Amino acid sequence: MIIVMKNNICEDDLKRVSKIVIEKGLEVSVVKGDEQSIIGIIGDTTKIDPRLIEVDEAVDHVMRVSEPYKLANRAFHPDDTIIEVGNIKIGGDNLVLIAGPCSVESEEQVIEVAKAVKASGANILRGGAFKPRTSPYSFQGMGSNALDLLVAAKKATGLPICTELMDADYLDEFNEKVDIIQIGARNMQNYSLLKRVGQGTKKPILLKRGLSATYEEWLMAAEYIMANGNPNVILCERGIRTFETYTRNTLDLQAIPVLKRLTHLPIIVDPSHAGGKWWLVEPMAKASILAGADGLMIEVHNNPEAALCDGAQSLKPKKYDNLLKEIKELAKFTNKRIQE
Amino acid sequence: MIIVMKNNICEDDLKRVSKIVIEKGLEVSVVKGDEQSIIGIIGDTTKIDPRLIEVDEAVDHVMRVSEPYKLANRAFHPDDTIIEVGNIKIGGDNLVLIAGPCSVESEEQVIEVAKAVKASGANILRGGAFKPRTSPYSFQGMGSNALDLLVAAKKATGLPICTELMDADYLDEFNEKVDIIQIGARNMQNYSLLKRVGQGTKKPILLKRGLSATYEEWLMAAEYIMANGNPNVILCERGIRTFETYTRNTLDLQAIPVLKRLTHLPIIVDPSHAGGKWWLVEPMAKASILAGADGLMIEVHNNPEAALCDGAQSLKPKKYDNLLKEIKELAKFTNKRIQE
Amino acid sequence: MIIVMKNNICEDDLKRVSKIVIEKGLEVSVVKGDEQSIIGIIGDTTKIDPRLIEVDEAVDHVMRVSEPYKLANRAFHPDDTIIEVGNIKIGGDNLVLIAGPCSVESEEQVIEVAKAVKASGANILRGGAFKPRTSPYSFQGMGSNALDLLVAAKKATGLPICTELMDADYLDEFNEKVDIIQIGARNMQNYSLLKRVGQGTKKPILLKRGLSATYEEWLMAAEYIMANGNPNVILCERGIRTFETYTRNTLDLQAIPVLKRLTHLPIIVDPSHAGGKWWLVEPMAKASILAGADGLMIEVHNNPEAALCDGAQSLKPKKYDNLLKEIKELAKFTNKRIQE
Amino acid sequence: MIIVMKNNICEDDLKRVSKIVIEKGLEVSVVKGDEQSIIGIIGDTTKIDPRLIEVDEAVDHVMRVSEPYKLANRAFHPDDTIIEVGNIKIGGDNLVLIAGPCSVESEEQVIEVAKAVKASGANILRGGAFKPRTSPYSFQGMGSNALDLLVAAKKATGLPICTELMDADYLDEFNEKVDIIQIGARNMQNYSLLKRVGQGTKKPILLKRGLSATYEEWLMAAEYIMANGNPNVILCERGIRTFETYTRNTLDLQAIPVLKRLTHLPIIVDPSHAGGKWWLVEPMAKASILAGADGLMIEVHNNPEAALCDGAQSLKPKKYDNLLKEIKELAKFTNKRIQE
């Protein structure tokens, strides 16, 4: 961490500010410039709040030089984290294919879709039980009943299941029934929930990027889960909020190579929510693979016109099947292994 | 709601799409243009998901013409909502002044600050007990103990207290001890929490704007609380996320007159979190008053240099006192009543 | 175009507002709702300014239902536009590969790079002569001299040349020496320049997306050039400005399939400027191809460490060569034709 | 400037990178940390491109500690710049009131509005002659003829005139007829134009903030003009682009106190363009004054319903008159002097 002093400060200012740092058990190194002096802080700065040092009148601003996350940081954990769900691997040179309906609507629906996506080559079934909806008047998901239908679909197909947890009160039930617990974009900085899935489970957590979360904030959210005891975090890029409103969100595929550099955690892409339009799913899914994604999470519905939510962004099983054929070919270009 | 059809569609397309709407109990009115036809939907469209209609191949896109919120909508509730907390009024022609430390750190601290802000003219005491922090390694607040210290400060000064609820498990305790329950920016779309403070309390909810929430999304979050049974929602503008990083967030003061038009709910401003720098608080607090805000929420700390969080954006009591002197004069320009 | 009236307006309001529209030679169709009425406008609305109608007190807001651009609109020109530069085709099922140094620095440099990228398979040479730099103290490009060096490189390799025009005063010189005229992101809404390259040349214009330009604004910029007489516009996605600062800009690859739908103009991607880091170029170039891009524009420098600008985002010739080998394989997945 | 090295680099890496800096005539100071080392650069770093140093494989990233602008920097010019236009002063403790129609439409219109705003207390007349419009089919302004009408209005009222220059070809004519030359938001990074108004005139330049320009980029645009010879730059905040689309742009009033700290140049606010709605002008104009603005630029039209552009955001003369009465009272709170 670097403390940048104001112009025209005096020796006493440098001493006073240095003392604040030294009292926290760290070392300082002062660099005096012609106009501006800086104080370099040496040691573990993760526990220092830079904004507190900025309170001092002689300080212009404070800059971090290293990342504030440790457990999620590739610098301290160079090897890829590989998370196992049954016999499916997520991370490393494995490609994971997650698919299923936006929301679980009936036993027939979820089993039909599960069978279809399995036949196409999907490894994990997704399906919404509790749905975060912008409007209180929209369908909010079937709740616990949907969890049982997902379990039935798992029984019917062998596919592990992934669904979103919105309320920590359901954590025990999720622990019992669900294989991957999703934290949605709108809860990415719900720190109470992050702590609870850190402390209360070892199940893999699929952590979606918040709508306006920087890479650092996203990794700090992962760090919350990890620091609370659960190292099994899968990151999921699903588009960010920008000024462009034609698409639901702007898919940030640069996130893939950047995150690969910053962290050892696996990172997958959800092209369905990013664009919000089914015809964007195919090109963006393919592009994601070439960007180096560890997997794809795609909405598939047997009858999108009658879906209770997000039909507009769901693929029909036939389209998904065609897409996976191509994805399997493209995976060869990134040395990712298709899993059966 | 308007359904915009694609170019070159046929009569059958118009009939099929119209039928989808009619089956939901609404009426349609078709307008045929030279190139493009539209279908106007007449009736209560809040329960229609426009994205589902967009699934139809003949539909180009669907546009709302009216707001998807009803209870928060000024069109159906023209008079200002006025929320009472003890003998303090929030909304209408009343100005409310909320102040206190970012986080409660000790009994001495909170009582000292409470007495100081009361002496300056503040009406309500704020103080963080549970703190949402970007880093799991930062001070997370004193938790329940802090609630008791706030109650002690209330006893010492008579000021009602306002603090943030991050986890619905504490709702009973908040119901018992707290006068205004704050929902933080990062939880603005934590729908589980919104439902719980809708169903489980009639205490006023101070709903901060999410970092990248549009006005409509913000009002839909208020609608969640209201539709679940609690009509007492106070909106709080606290800055939004933009490309500018010099300030912590970009304070959007246009939000004040816009929200006044869209909703009957009171709206206040938190200039401390918006800029993240104490020297921005004074000009932005004054500007907020002239923009028509119903109140201000300002961080005041007796020793910002040693604050456990957000000292950089806290005013010292003396500066707050000077500021309130000016605010009281400026309130005359907006016909807002200072409350003693 | 749809005029949404305020609630509780009367018959006279509808008549008055309708009259405004009818007087401009268009037809109206009124749809009366329970709470809200709308006026549909039938006919060519491109010349109506919706914000002028919003001045009327009875009008709530005005919404476009069709795009304000005509010449660039695929609806009126379903076939892909194919632009020819020498024997190179841009658009349709052709892939174009543009490469070269950020800025022209010497005859040796530009010819060496030109030969290298040609050997790898590039079709067109890019090189900056006039450089838009954030700082007035940075290298601003060699100017006209650089144009002559580019011409020399064209003579040495046969590659057509593409370079940025910042000032219409140089248009004659560009007309004489340059094959594709680039309009930079920062000039995308420099309407004087757009008009001039519309009226003063038929050379293809490579129009980069503005830093915060919506798809519609970008197409309106293309429309400016086309409406002024030059139909040869190539769009270039180069990243947009968002809250994320780790990368220089956020590359928006959804732009490719979206623009393919909205317009018949070719669209290519510049992954070098988007990320601002050389190690992002390879994955993003490949992802762009799968997203359906008509081409790539990539910075290649023989000595990035000593480049006078943007070395950090330039590939070395060897890396570019490896990349093109992969690109050629990937092109098969999008039915794009590699050109020799 | 600080060079942050990667983890696990060796002594040779530090030497090599230090040498790059030393060869440019600057000094270095190396701070070795447990995990990360940094190299502090001492001396004038404005001419160093940090991205070039980032090319080195051992460098993680480079951070500026001081601003890249010198002439616009308050650190080197502590006193407020005061710009004189006739007997009107802009900057310091003077408040300037600029008003007039969005676009000049006829002699009657511009003179009528000029007389009205003068009677209300405006100091300078604004009026668009050349209009940057998103659509090539919209009214583009009366051009040179409008300059003559502005001159006629100046003659009739004594008000100096301010209008936008879009094309440097007209600079001589502007030099002759116009008192303040406006550079629009869309041309804020049109570096050719910035250089030309730096070199070709000493007339004050009103530099609007670009739609997605950071404070630093905005000041670098001012630096372009100043470094090219014209020190008379007035900054104008007019709203930035964000995800919120209800308003045309998001007015960033924090820009006022921030810019006052970073630069000595005057800064005014244009609340008309920011919100794009006339009813936002009054509250935002008042808020701007309290935020510390040196002036206001407001659109006034005698017949907004028939305005050829931007009628929706124009005040009628009567409303402007009422607003100025309040502004004059509010100016007392910021120690700004009203000028007659």
* CA–CA separation, C44 and C62 (whole Å): 15
Q: What is the mean pLDDT of residues D291-318?
A: 91
pLDDT for C150: 98
Say yes or no to pLDDT of D217 above 90: yes
User: Lowest-pLDDT range, A92-96, B20-24, C194-198?
Assistant: B20-24
pLDDT for D116: 98
Task: Categorize the per-residue pLDDT at C241 as very low, low, confident or very high, splitting at 50, 70 and 90.
Answer: very high
Name the minimum distance, in Å, from the CA of C33 to any CA of chain B: 5
User: What is the residue-averaged pLDDT of chain C?
Assistant: 94
Chain C touching partners, 3 or more CB pairs below 8 A: A, B, D
* CA–CA separation, D204 and D85 (whole Å): 8
pLDDT for B308: 81
Say yes or no to pLDDT of B159 above 90: yes
* CA–CA separation, D154 and C53 (whole Å): 31
Residues B182 and B300 in one domain: yes
Domain for residue D163, yes or no? yes
Determine which of C29, C61, C65, C211 to mutate to test the interface with B (most B C-beta atoms within 10 Å): C65
pLDDT for B161: 98
User: What is the residue-averaged pLDDT of chain A?
Assistant: 94
CB distance from C276 to chain D under 8 Å?
yes
* CA–CA separation, B182 and B162 (whole Å): 7
* Inter-chain residue contact D190 with C191, CB threshold 8 Å: no
**Which residue is associated with the tokens 């319903």?**
D305
Residues A90 and A28 in one domain: no
pLDDT digits (tens, 9 = 90+) for C190-208: 999 999 999 999 999 999 9
User: Lowest-pLDDT range, A38-52, C14-28, C206-220, D180-194?
Assistant: A38-52
CB distance from B261 to chain C under 8 Å?
no
CB contacts of A33 in chain D (<8 Å) are 40, 42-43
Q: Is there a contact between D198 and D221 (Cβ–Cβ < 8 Å)? A: no
Which of A63, A91, A109 is at the close of a domain? A63
pLDDT for B319: 97
CB distance from A168 to chain D under 8 Å?
no
Residues D138 and D183 in one domain: yes
* Inter-chain residue contact A247 with C258, CB threshold 8 Å: yes
Residues A281 and A150 in one domain: yes
Per-range mean pLDDT, top range of B15-24, C24-33, C53-62, D187-196: D187-196
Residues B118 and B55 in one domain: no
Residues C24 and C169 in one domain: no
Task: Categorize the per-residue pLDDT at B112 as very low, low, confident or very high, splitting at 50, 70 and 90.
Answer: very high
* Inter-chain residue contact A287 with C252, CB threshold 8 Å: no
Residues C250 and C285 in one domain: yes
pLDDT digits (tens, 9 = 90+) for C296-332: 999 999 988 888 877 888 999 999 999 999 999 999 9
* Inter-chain residue contact A36 with D243, CB threshold 8 Å: no
Say yes or no to pLDDT of D35 above 80: no
| Among candidates C32, C44, C242 on the partner chain, residue whose Cβ is nearest the Cβ of B243 | C242
Name the minimum distance, in Å, from the CA of B242 to any CA of chain C: 5
| Among candidates B55, B167, B220 on the partner chain, residue whose Cβ is nearest the Cβ of A311 | B55
Q: What is the mean pLDDT of residues A164-174?
A: 97
Chain B touching partners, 3 or more CB pairs below 8 A: A, C, D
Q: What's B314's domain CATH number?
A: 3.20.20.70
Task: Count CA atoms within 13 Å of residue A42 on its CB side.
Answer: 13
Residues A27 and A123 in one domain: no
Burial of A153-186, coded b for 16+ CB within 10 Å and e otherwise, reads bbebbebbbbbbbbbbebbeebeebbbbbbbbbb
Domain for residue D315, yes or no? yes
pLDDT for B57: 85
Residues C59 and C102 in one domain: no
* Inter-chain residue contact B244 with D214, CB threshold 8 Å: yes
Say yes or no to pLDDT of D52 above 90: no
As for how many domains chain D has, the answer is 2
* CA–CA separation, A182 and A128 (whole Å): 10
Q: What's A22's domain CATH number?
A: 3.30.70.1140
Domain for residue C99, yes or no? yes
Say yes or no to pLDDT of B299 above 80: yes
pLDDT for C158: 98
Residues spanned by the domain of D271:
83-338
* CA–CA separation, D195 and D193 (whole Å): 5
By percentage, how much of chain C surpasses pLDDT 70? 100
* Inter-chain residue contact A283 with C289, CB threshold 8 Å: no
Domain for residue B114, yes or no? yes
pLDDT digits (tens, 9 = 90+) for C156-185: 999 999 999 999 999 999 999 999 999 999
pTM: 0.95
Say yes or no to pLDDT of A97 above 90: yes
Q: What is the mean pLDDT of residues B248-257?
A: 98
C-alpha C139: how far from chain center: 25
pLDDT for D138: 87
Residues B58 and B104 in one domain: no
pLDDT for B305: 80
Domain for residue B269, yes or no? yes
Burial of D277-310, coded b for 16+ CB within 10 Å and e otherwise, reads bbbbbbbbbbbbbbbbbbbbbbbbbbebeebbbb
pLDDT digits (tens, 9 = 90+) for A127-164: 999 999 989 988 899 999 999 999 999 999 999 999 99
* Inter-chain residue contact C49 with D309, CB threshold 8 Å: yes
Residues D196 and D294 in one domain: yes
Name the minimum distance, in Å, from the CA of C278 to any CA of chain D: 9
Q: State phi, psi for D108 to the nearest 5 degrees.
A: -60, -50
Domain for residue B76, yes or no? no
Chain A touching partners, 3 or more CB pairs below 8 A: B, C, D
| Among candidates A47, A190, A241 on the partner chain, residue whose Cβ is nearest the Cβ of B137 | A47
Domain for residue A105, yes or no? yes
Determine which of A45, A216, A243 to mutate to test the interface with D (most D C-beta atoms within 10 Å): A243
| Element at B245 (helix H, strand E) | none
CB distance from A33 to chain D under 8 Å?
yes
* Inter-chain residue contact C136 with D227, CB threshold 8 Å: yes
E strands, B22-65, in order: 27-32, 37-42, 59-63
Say yes or no to pLDDT of D33 above 80: no
pLDDT for B66: 81
Say yes or no to pLDDT of B173 above 80: yes
**Which residue is associated with the tokens 């609507």?**
A105
The more confidently predicted of residues C33 and B237 is B237
CA distances from C277 to A293, B17, C299, D60 (A): 19, 48, 11, 12
* CA–CA separation, D216 and D206 (whole Å): 17
pLDDT for A33: 77
User: What is the residue-averaged pLDDT of chain B?
Assistant: 94
| Among candidates B31, B43, B44 on the partner chain, residue whose Cβ is nearest the Cβ of C40 | B31
pLDDT for B182: 98
Residues D51 and D103 in one domain: no
pLDDT for B31: 85
Domain for residue D221, yes or no? yes
CB contacts of C7 in chain B (<8 Å) are 75
* CA–CA separation, C93 and A104 (whole Å): 41
